[in-house]
Amino acid sequence: MKIGIITQPLPINYGGLLQNYALQQVLKSLGHDTITLRRNHLGIHTAGKVRRLRWKIKRAIKKFIGLKYPPSYDELTTIHKHCQQFVINNINATAVIKDEKELQQYIEQHPLDGYVVGSDQVWRPRYSTNIYTDFLAFAQHKQGIKRVAYAASFGVDEWEYNPKQTKECARLAKMFDAVSVREESGVSLCNSYFGVEATHLLDPTMLLTQEHYSQLAIKAGEQQSPGNLFCYILDSDDSKTATIAQIEETMKLTSFQVKAKEDIWLLKRGTDINELVVPPPTKWLRAFDDAQMVITDSFHGCVFSIIYNKPFWVITNEKRGNARFHSLLKLFDLQSRIIDIDNTKDFDFSAPIDWQAVNSIKESMQQKSLQFLKENL
Render each residue's pLDDT in the chain as its tens digit; 377 residues.
Answer: 999 999 998 876 899 999 999 999 999 999 999 999 998 765 444 445 666 677 778 778 877 777 777 787 788 888 999 999 999 999 999 998 988 889 999 999 999 999 999 988 999 999 888 899 999 999 999 999 999 999 999 999 999 999 999 999 999 999 999 999 999 999 999 999 999 999 999 999 999 999 999 999 999 999 999 999 999 999 888 999 999 999 999 999 999 999 887 777 677 777 888 888 999 999 999 999 999 999 999 999 999 999 999 999 999 777 676 788 999 999 999 999 999 888 888 899 999 999 999 999 999 999 999 999 999 99
Same domain, 87 and 180: yes
Residue 153: inside a domain = yes
Same domain, 276 and 192: no
Residue 194: inside a domain = yes
Same domain, 55 and 119: yes
Same domain, 16 and 91: yes
Residue 212: inside a domain = no
Q: What angle do CA 298, 301, 306 make, to 5 degrees?
A: 135
Same domain, 136 and 199: yes
Q: Which domain holds residue 55?
A: 2-207+364-376
* Nearest to 158, CA basis, from 188, 179, 195: 188
Residue 306: inside a domain = yes
Residue 302: inside a domain = yes
* Nearest to 153, CA basis, from 9, 365, 321, 319: 321
Same domain, 262 and 356: yes
Residue 217: inside a domain = no
Same domain, 160 and 71: yes
Same domain, 196 and 336: no
Domain count, the chain: 2
Is 241 buried (19+), middle (13-18) or exposed (0-12) by CB count in 10 A?
Answer: middle
CATH number of the domain that 36 lies in?
3.40.50.2000
Taking residue 313's Cβ as centre, other Cβ atoms within 10 Å add up to 22
Same domain, 228 and 186: no
Residue 216: inside a domain = no
Same domain, 23 and 163: yes
145 backbone φψ class: left, alpha, beta (φ>0; ψ -120 to 50): beta
Residue 215: inside a domain = no
Record the pTM: 0.93
Q: Calculate Rg over the CA atoms of the chain.
A: 21
The answer to whether 256 touches 231, Cβ cutoff 8 Å, is: yes
CATH number of the domain that 333 lies in?
3.40.50
Same domain, 75 and 6: yes
Same domain, 262 and 195: no
The answer to whether 26 touches 204, Cβ cutoff 8 Å, is: yes
